[in-house]
Amino acid sequence: MVRLIRRDAVQLVLTSAALLFTELLVLRWIPANVIYIGFFANYLLMASFLGIGLGILFGRRYATPGLSPFPGLLLVVVGLVNQQKLDVQFKASNEIFFGLAESHSADANFVVLPLMFVIVTALLAALALPLGALLRSQPPLRAYALDIGGSIAGILLFAVLSAFSLPPVTWFALLAILFGALSLRRPMGLRTAVNASLMLVAVIVVAVGSSRSGDLWSPYYRITVRESPGADTHIMVNGIPHQAIHQVTAEQPAGDPFYEQIYRWFPDRSFSRALIVGAGSGTDVAYA
């Protein structure tokens, strides 16, 4: 099994899969936790493309280091996102403020974007370093086919995880497994143990952060539900207030008048069946 994984063709497929998987992980996880970056997600996409390109170029010119910088950089990203969440200020329900107001807690956001751009570029470049030599190890068309096949596999793998609403700790655990398979290319030793330890620490940090937050992960967003006794339940999407669940009873109708508008238009009609488009948090359904 190990001999099969060490083959250049297999390593090429695994490296391409790991690269696309990591790119999607970065694009999904960082903006979901750092609100400011969520408005500039294309910068992370550009950083990923730049990092992969630089990694291939450096990998063709220089030998791949035995101690990969990828696990250390991944741990830095995880630490920054989990421990230094730089959120925005909410002065009103319809206003989001990023800093330079009475409170300066969010002013550091203006450093976050370039910092994350540099780190994500370095992260993807570190993972792409072996790709330069691996692409040259095969005939051009075969190398290109294996590269594309591995990339599609990485995309499909992350898509399946998202479709089942699995939490980020699962994403990072699978990334650690992919990186472990790539590490088998070299003989086991101290460097391999160090890389494995750093990957394990990164997974643990993500797991601890997820358990504390109690967030739900839909196929698209990080969802936070805040319940207050005697008040409406509020839903946050990627850290931003999104919807409220109103308590609806016969004695206490919904708080917002537009929920009753359809019944004002047809006061003498009763409806045994109703089609609700965009039910949202369910208040429309409860009112119907």
Return the pLDDT at 100: 45
* pTM of the predicted model over 0.85: no
Q: By C-alpha distance, which of 220, 197, 206 is closest to 83?
A: 206
Kindly indicate the confidence band of residue 127, based on its pLDDT and cuts at 50, 70 and 90: very high
Residue 26 has pLDDT above 50, yes or no: yes
236 three-class SS:
strand
Residue 96 has pLDDT above 70, yes or no: no
Residue pLDDT, tens place only, 242-257: 787 877 766 665 556 7
Q: By C-alpha distance, which of 271, 288, 270 is closest to 279?
A: 288
Q: Kindly write down the DSSP assignment for every residue of 28-93, as one continuous string.
A: HHHHHH-HHHHTTHHHHHHHHHHHHHHHHHHHHHSPPPSS-SHHHHHHHHHHHHHH-----EEEET
Averaged pLDDT, 198-202: 93
Q: What percent of the chain has pLDDT over 90?
A: 37
Averaged pLDDT, 47-57: 94
Q: Helices 109-136 and 70-83 meet at what angle, rounded to 10?
A: 160
205 or 62, higher pLDDT? 205
- Range of weakest confidence among 8-22, 47-61, 144-158, 238-252: 238-252
Residue 269 has pLDDT above 70, yes or no: yes
Q: Which helix (H) or strand (E) holds 223?
A: strand 222-226
70 or 279, higher pLDDT? 70
Averaged pLDDT, 278-285: 75
Kindly indicate the confidence band of residue 284, based on its pLDDT and cuts at 50, 70 and 90: confident
Return the pLDDT at 103: 47
Residue 141 has pLDDT above 70, yes or no: yes
Q: Kindly write down the DSSP assignment for every residue of 116-150, as one continuous string.
A: HHHHHHHHHHHHHHHHHHHHHTS-HHHHHHHHHHH
